[in-house]
Amino acid sequence: MAACTEDYSDEWAVPMKGDTPASSTEVTQGGDSKITVTPVEGVINFADFAAEQTTVKLCTVNAPAPKDTTIKQDDYIVLDSAATFQLVDGTVTVDELKGYLEGKYGKAPYERTINAYVYTTYTSATMKTRSFSDAFQLKAQLKAPKISQNYYVVGGTLDWAGSAASKEAKFNHSDINVYDDPIFTITIPLSAEGDTWFAIGDDEALDAIANNNDWSKLLGTTSGNGNSGTEGFLAPRTELPDDGSFKIPGGSKYALITIDMMNASYKIETLNFEEFIYVPGNGQGWNPGNAAALRSPNFDGIYTGYVYLDGGFKFTKARNWDAEYNWSHFTSVPSFLNNGAGSDTNIYCDDPSVYFLTVNVANGTIEGVKISNMNLVGDFNGWNAGDDAQQMTWDKENACYTITGAGVTANGWKFTANNGWDYNLGGDINDLTKDGANISTVGTTIKLYPCRTTSDKMYCTVE
């Protein structure tokens, strides 16, 4: 046999995937070339680590000793055939193991089983070989606080015991695992007169109140009863010297409460919303003076209304450009909206149509539905919401739906959208409302103005 004389690259350093390879041997090593490994016993629990700890023991490695001119290189551990870390006396850094667990499983503090093996590289002047251990398992568990699936406000403008029983003031949360997204938000109304007091609790805490009149499981502020301020930290009442109830001083209409349960922190922002926001955009010439208006009847920052969208648009707080809500303000939008090529901060709709939007500027969310058609429905057609003969035509220039030859009668009629009743309009023809009363005004030419472009009301004309 002739020795190999070509140069070799350090391809061994590339993390390996797949099953544990069989050990390779070099003639100069001699003896048993298999690495033996003794993994640590029990669960590697991050909750047991000292605050200053930087490394963590995974195993003890017994690698064959090199012979003659062979040199033993470093030991490496391969986790789940997916990640490779250098071992130093059987240890890796805490950050390496933590990063691997969070990347594979998320931050939840559950016990994880990791499949592993160890390899060592031996080199000589002519050859490079590896020796491998048998596969073994490690168990590890991240440290994290208990995070519940649901949180609620108890008290506020609601009865304390009643709100605990009803669980009606529930925080909003994404569909992501709570350990990967520990942020919860809620917008609550504030007392019209005086201060607003409240506490926070999960299902267990609220059930304890409702079933046993036990208020100790609620979360309060560590700053002390009534001293919550605008930011701080949460703790169970059992760990506080007093109830730790939150207090928001009077003078505001609403408050946005944000809690980060990974850090047990909170933030309170008082809000004073206007009744309307406006939607200037490409679909109507970027003129805030005649933009569609969305209304928040409760002044709570939740705005609804009809708007024609075609390309870019944004929301403004008045019929001017003084204050805007752009793409960057929102964290959740429906699939028919996007930010285009990302060249500006406008929101985009690439499917021109009338839409019914629900915009929550406090929580940064937009919901919406495309209005595919608008129909007349009433006693005259058997209240058939999907009557194609009564379908109206959209007039983009005048921002209205029109129909001629309408057959409505004084026995009652309404407007319906998308062949159903979810978005019906009725009531006073000069101030139409969702789910409003039947209309009795009679005419054959009807125009519906749902977008509030020149008025703060939805209305129709009947001739």
For 305-338, the pLDDT digits (tens) are 999 999 999 999 999 998 899 998 898 999 999 9
- 46: three-class secondary structure by DSSP: helix
Is the per-residue pLDDT at 11 higher than 50? no
Query: 200 to each of 88, 147, 234, 308, how far by Cα in Å?
Result: 46, 13, 9, 40
User: At a CB cut-off of 8 Å and minimum separation 6, what does 334 contact?
Assistant: 366, 367, 368
What average pLDDT does the segment 12-37 reach? 48
In this prediction, residue 107 carries a pLDDT of 81
In this prediction, residue 318 carries a pLDDT of 92
Q: What six digits make up the tokens of 265?
A: 């922190």
Sign for the CA dihedral angle at 167, 171, 172, 173 comes to negative
Query: 423 to each of 374, 442, 463, how far by Cα in Å?
Result: 9, 22, 24
Is the per-residue pLDDT at 224 higher than 80? yes
Q: Contact, 172 vs 256, CB < 8 A?
A: no
CA atoms within 13 A on the CB side of 253: 12
**How many Å apart are CA 156 and CA 148, to the nearest integer?**
21
Q: Contact, 307 vs 357, CB < 8 A?
A: yes
User: At a CB cut-off of 8 Å and minimum separation 6, what does 61 contact?
Assistant: 35, 36, 37, 75, 87, 90, 118, 120, 133
Each residue's pLDDT tens digit, 253-262: 889 899 999 9
- 462: three-class secondary structure by DSSP: strand
For residue 437, give the amino acid letter.
A
pTM above 0.75, yes or no: no
- Fold of the 11-141 domain: Immunoglobulin-like (2.60.40)
- Fold of the 276-371 domain: Immunoglobulin-like (2.60.40)
**How many Å apart are CA 353 and CA 110, to the nearest integer?**
48
**How many Å apart are CA 424 and CA 385, to the nearest integer?**
9
Bridge pairing between strands 43-45 and 136-141: parallel
Banded model confidence at residue 28, pLDDT cuts 50, 70, 90: very low
If you search the block for the tokens 């870390």, which residue do you land on? 85
User: At a CB cut-off of 8 Å and minimum separation 6, what does 51 contact?
Assistant: none
The proportion of the chain whose per-residue pLDDT surpasses 90, expressed as a percent, equals 75
Across the strands, what pairs with 235?
220
Q: Contact, 195 vs 250, CB < 8 A?
A: yes
Q: What is the DSSP string of 409-437?
A: -TT-EEEEETTSSTT-EEEETTEEEETPP
In this prediction, residue 20 carries a pLDDT of 52
User: Does 20 or 317 have the greater pLDDT score?
Assistant: 317
In this prediction, residue 3 carries a pLDDT of 43
For residue 435, give the amino acid letter.
D
Lowest mean pLDDT among 49-58, 120-129, 372-381: 120-129
Bridge pairing between strands 43-45 and 265-271: unpaired
Each residue's pLDDT tens digit, 32-79: 467 899 999 999 999 999 999 999 999 999 988 887 788 999 999 999
**How many Å apart are CA 427 and CA 425, to the nearest integer?**
7
Q: What is the DSSP string of 53-110?
A: --EEE-EEEEPPPP-TT-EEEEEEEEETTTEEEEEBTTEEEHHHHHHHHHHHH-S---
Q: Which one-letter DSSP state was computed for residue 66?
A: P
Is the per-residue pLDDT at 90 higher than 70? yes
| Helix H or strand E encompassing 98 | helix 94-105
In this prediction, residue 274 carries a pLDDT of 87
Banded model confidence at residue 10, pLDDT cuts 50, 70, 90: very low
Banded model confidence at residue 454, pLDDT cuts 50, 70, 90: confident
Is the per-residue pLDDT at 270 higher than 70? yes
The proportion of the chain whose per-residue pLDDT surpasses 70, expressed as a percent, equals 92
Sign for the CA dihedral angle at 160, 166, 167, 172 comes to negative
Q: What is the DSSP string of 208-237?
A: HHHHH---TTSEEETT-TT---SEEEEEEG
Q: Which one-letter DSSP state was computed for residue 21?
A: P
Banded model confidence at residue 21, pLDDT cuts 50, 70, 90: low
| Helix H or strand E encompassing 99 | helix 94-105
Is the per-residue pLDDT at 451 higher than 80? yes
Lowest mean pLDDT among 123-127, 220-224, 457-461: 123-127
CA angle 83, 85, 88 (to 5 degrees): 160
In this prediction, residue 342 carries a pLDDT of 57
Report residue 99 CA to chain centroid gap.
22
Q: Contact, 131 vs 63, CB < 8 A?
A: yes
Average pLDDT value for the chain: 90
In CATH, what number does 153-271 get? 2.60.40.3620
In this prediction, residue 341 carries a pLDDT of 60
**Phi/psi at 377 (5° precision):** -145, 145
What average pLDDT does the segment 147-172 reach? 97
Is the per-residue pLDDT at 166 higher than 70? yes
Banded model confidence at residue 94, pLDDT cuts 50, 70, 90: very high
